[in-house]
Structure 1
Amino acid sequence: MATGKITIGNVCFLIDKNKNEILFLERFFEPMKDLFTGVGGKTNFDEDIHTSCLREINEETGLNAKNLKLKGIIKTILSGHDSSWILFIYTSSEFYGKQIDCPEGKLHWVGINDVEKLNLIGFIREIMPFVLNEDSIIEGTITHDLTGTVLSKKIIEIQ
């Protein structure tokens, strides 16, 4: 039986419904440098998942989000490494504040119709149709390599 490190984390996609845009982070650093993802990160040991997502949004964007909507829970497994994440996926269309430069990458507001043109991390590409569907909630497991390319997946739409 394999053993390894499991990280609890989150990723959030801020959606500006007035402009029909979604906020992405183009990563500055490895792993997955130069690829696009949502904002988010690790949940600290002593914080709840919802609070960690709000903290990560604020740290990476300067914005304060409200009314997070849980879109799913995905386990990601990095093939060939002892690394796995339990990733809570959220959206929010209610946020305020002044956007800042992110220390982890460049923030881009992208038209929802242009999302498929982005150089997305592979497992983010797999979940985006569900993220963008108002009614979808998903769970599953995605195995990927160091570049984020999906090697196998099992995604179940539970709603």
Structure 2
Amino acid sequence: MSSIFTLCVVRDEDKILVQKREKTPFKGYWNAPGGKVEGQETPIEACLREVFEETGLQLNEVRFRGVMTVSSLSRQQNTQLLMLFDSNNYNGELMPSSEGEVDWIEIDKIYNSKIIPASTTYLLPYIMESEGIITGKLVYNRELLEVCDISLQV
């Protein structure tokens, strides 16, 4: 099974696209769309596929923003890679998905929200306000973010 995942911040002016997670991790939380890189897919292909499957939007352009390692102190699992992308160029209309409800949320509301994963609130300014490549690590302990170490390579 793949240990590579994507996360794509899709922007529309002062809003970003979010999806309410129906399964773990982050069940019940709203997060940017993304998911597993499947066999014979590049991370960009997976990003495009996941955004379309989860939201109905077709991305015309996607920009690679960086990579984070994700690990857990409380569970024995392999370290996962989270490939970060963003886009503001898309076609289509939001469509219901079996993956979870989708909607646009104002960026200002994200930072005070208790229903957005902490990792997203830390990563979002780097993805939206910088031009470099993001690297770092996210370490969880029983679903709680223990370590968030982010670097920007310019």
TM-score of the pair, normalised by structure 1: 0.87
The aligned residue for residue 76 of structure 1 is 70
The one of 125, 129, 154 aligned to 2:125:
129
* Structure 2 contact 74–140 (Cα < 8 Å) conserved: no
SS in 1 for 2:95: coil
One-letter code aligned to 1:103: S
SS in 2 for 1:98: coil
Shift >6 Å, 4+ stretches = none
Per the TM alignment, residue 135 of structure 1 is displaced from its structure 2 partner at its CA by 2.1
- Structure number with higher strand proportion: 1
Per the TM alignment, residue 154 of structure 1 is displaced from its structure 2 partner at its CA by 2.0
Question: Residue 27 and residue 133 in structure 1: after superposition, are their counterparts in 2 closer, same or farther (change >3 A)?
Answer: same
Q: How many residues align?
A: 152
Mapping of residues 1-159 of structure 1, within 5 Å: 7-17=3-13, 20-81=14-75, 82-118=77-113, 119-147=115-143, 149-159=144-154
- CA deviation string 1:50-103 (max 9, x = no partner): 111000011001110021111211111122221432011111000001211121
Question: Residue 146 and residue 58 in structure 1: after superposition, are their counterparts in 2 closer, same or farther (change >3 A)?
Answer: farther
Question: In 1, Cα distance between the equivalents of 2:3 and 2:23?
Answer: 19
Per the TM alignment, residue 134 of structure 1 is displaced from its structure 2 partner at its CA by 4.1
Q: Which runs of 5+ in 1 are unaligned?
A: none
Deviates more, 1:63-72 or 1:130-139: 130-139
Question: In 2, Cα distance between the equivalents of 1:98 and 1:92?
Answer: 15
* Structure 1 contact 31–146 (Cα < 8 Å) conserved: no
Q: Percent identity?
A: 22
Q: Which runs of 5+ in 2 are unaligned?
A: none
Question: In 2, Cα distance between the equivalents of 1:71 and 1:128?
Answer: 11
* Structure 2 contact 4–81 (Cα < 8 Å) conserved: yes
Compute the RMSD of aligned alpha carbons.
1.7
